[in-house]
Amino acid sequence: MSKEMATPTVQIDNNHLRVTEWRFAPGAATGYHRHEHDYVVVPARDGELKLIGPKGEVSHAQLHLGKSYFRNAGVEHDVINFGAGEMVFIEIELKDTSIGKTI
């Protein structure tokens, strides 16, 4: 049985950044992936995500409307909507960030 997949909609994609809206029905997942760039997540709704890491470790994250967070490149996980309602967030990948360089 395959799980429902989250729906990504790329809004901006250029040499500097990629902005993607992610929509997750309850139980929907991104599929296992590795982040190649530093990124910021901006929740558009409150919700809970279940995160499954590279060795199968499970953690949960509470997201709150408008409370952004940052992660460095290299994160590997599957992200699943663990809530009862739709989860929506904006992911901003910073393609040209490095030590000492600004956008």
Domain ranges of the chain: 7-94
How distant is the alpha carbon of residue 41 from its chain centre?
A: 6
Token digits for 2?
């395959």
Tell me the C-alpha to C-alpha distance, in Å, between residue 5 and each of 31, 80, 81, 82. Answer: 7, 9, 10, 13
Neighbours of 9 (CB within 10 A): 10
Beta strand pairing call for 76-81 and 47-52: antiparallel
Q: What architecture is the 7-94 domain classified under in CATH?
A: Sandwich (2.60)
Of 25 and 101, the structure prediction assigns the larger pLDDT to 25
Give per-residue pLDDT as tens, 59-69: 999 999 999 99
Question: pTM for the full model?
Answer: 0.90
